[in-house]
Amino acid sequence: MRPFEGIKILDCTHVLAGPFAAYQLAVLGADVVKVDDPNAPDQSRESGADMALNVQGLGTGFLTQGSNKRCIALDLKTEGGRAALKKLATEWADILVENYRPGAFKALGLGYDELSKENPRLIYASMTAFGQDGPRGYMTAYDQAIQATSGITASTGTQASGPIKAGAPVIDYATGTTGAFALAAALFQRTRTNKGQYIDMSMMDVAMILQASHMVDYLHSGHQPKRNGNILRFAPQCAYECKDGVLLQIAASNGRQHKRFFEALGNPEEGARNSLKERYERFDEKYKFVADKMKEKTAAEWEEFFQQRHIPACRVRELREAVEDPQVKHRGLLHRFDKMEGAGKAMSVPLTAFRFAHGGASIERAPGRVGQHTDEVLKSVGYTDADIAALRKAKAVV
């Protein structure tokens, strides 16, 4: 039995962070119903490099986190659409997750205060850029904007390059992961209190937490993170160009590793100078020695050399190499659909970044089209065929 078997979730979110939070619970057993706006479906449905999939509303941005979810389409600007969502939230759901602008759901009569009166056990999560209130609560943003305003962009890159956004949408997926943890924590709390919970999640909060050590250092000493690119605190932590032009990222961080690293390179004298003071003050000398030495072998040869000596070092790989890494395959990180409707070929999507010995993540249902399961879901809370036909005629559902 997976952890969230029997838990019912209304996923009223779009793009990446919110859908990823619900997805993490879906692959661990929750019954997740994704709610699209029929007039403006989740924009991730048209996101990805395959334009044919985008046109079908099955873009890879959506497929990434759409498995195990049933898809319904409700126009919440209509009375019938709002009534249907309210019925699902009060009679069916354990959790409702939404990521619209602050106050939007409340204005529709679908806020936590109203819904929890009829369903006191409801866990309701709102995921926004800056939170529900405060001087910036009204502002909207996406991953790249939060990276910019949080200080992450300013500390990424080099002095020559200037600020650079991180390559992956790290804030979105970190917010989704944090959101899944918050939902799991609220469910656990409910087992003790028998009460629901309201969760106010902010992407900005997550971005700041991702810089926790930088924040504490700055608040204590005034030290600002610098755009040093691949130059880190100590020489055996930096990235170096090797004989083949490929970068090797070394991560020998502590004094013991520093000593072992230089001994491996045939310079035990430098390795012996491993006090914190000397590692700082002799950085330039140590760095030049390592940079010259790395030109003697390819990055792959150095990686094997150091790893055999228990010194952390990895050559810089592109994503195409990383997904084919035997370790990634061994870990079972990806689920493969041998055939997926609309895709025309096999597709692989992620599961979770951890493994359980039993009752872990699994996928049984492929991502759905807009409104594919509307009738099925509405019938589960008492709607008849005639009721649904009337809603469809009023363009409240698809």
Coil, strand, or helix at residue 380?
Answer: coil
Shared-domain flag, residues 201 and 61? yes
State the average pLDDT for the chain. Answer: 97
The residue from 293, 320, 347 where one domain ends is 320
Candidate list 31, 36, 42, 172, residue with the active-site label: 172
Shared-domain flag, residues 129 and 183? yes
pLDDT in tens, 237-246: 999 999 999 9
Q: What is the pTM of this model?
A: 0.96
Cα separation, 253 vs 232, whole angstroms = 10
Shared-domain flag, residues 312 and 353? no
- With 90 as the cut, is the pLDDT of residue 343 above it? no
Coil, strand, or helix at residue 356?
Answer: coil
pLDDT band at 160 (very low <50, low <70, confident <90, very high): very high
Shared-domain flag, residues 190 and 126? yes
Supply the DSSP string of 245-278, one letter for each residue: S-EEEE---SHHHHHHHHHHTT-HHHHH--SHHH
Q: How many domains does the chain have?
A: 2
pLDDT band at 344 (very low <50, low <70, confident <90, very high): confident
Shared-domain flag, residues 89 and 188? yes
Q: Does residue 385 lie in a domain region?
A: yes
Coil, strand, or helix at residue 96?
Answer: strand
User: Residue 324: what pLDDT?
Assistant: 95
CB 72 within 8 A of CB 35: yes
Nearest residue to 201 (alpha-carbon basis) of 122, 134, 137, 125: 125
Q: Does residue 325 lie in a domain region?
A: no
CATH number at residue 107: 3.40.50.10540
Shared-domain flag, residues 377 and 305? no
Coil, strand, or helix at residue 358?
Answer: coil
- With 90 as the cut, is the pLDDT of residue 61 above it? yes
Is 172 known to be catalytic? yes
Shared-domain flag, residues 243 and 204? no
pLDDT in tens, 94-129: 999 999 999 999 999 999 999 999 999 999 999 999
Cα separation, 236 vs 253, whole angstroms = 7
Shared-domain flag, residues 195 and 283? no
The residue from 320, 354, 385 where one domain ends is 320
pLDDT in tens, 304-320: 999 999 999 999 999 99
Q: Does residue 298 lie in a domain region?
A: yes
Cα separation, 193 vs 185, whole angstroms = 12
Shared-domain flag, residues 150 and 254? no
Shared-domain flag, residues 279 and 157? no
Cα separation, 65 vs 2, whole angstroms = 18
Shared-domain flag, residues 194 and 256? no
pLDDT band at 341 (very low <50, low <70, confident <90, very high): confident
Q: Does residue 295 lie in a domain region?
A: yes
Coil, strand, or helix at residue 304?
Answer: helix
Shared-domain flag, residues 47 and 158? yes
Domain around 303:
235-320
Q: Which residue has the tokens 């009337």?
A: 390
CB 130 within 8 A of CB 204: yes
Coil, strand, or helix at residue 277?
Answer: helix
The residue from 271, 293, 320 where one domain ends is 320
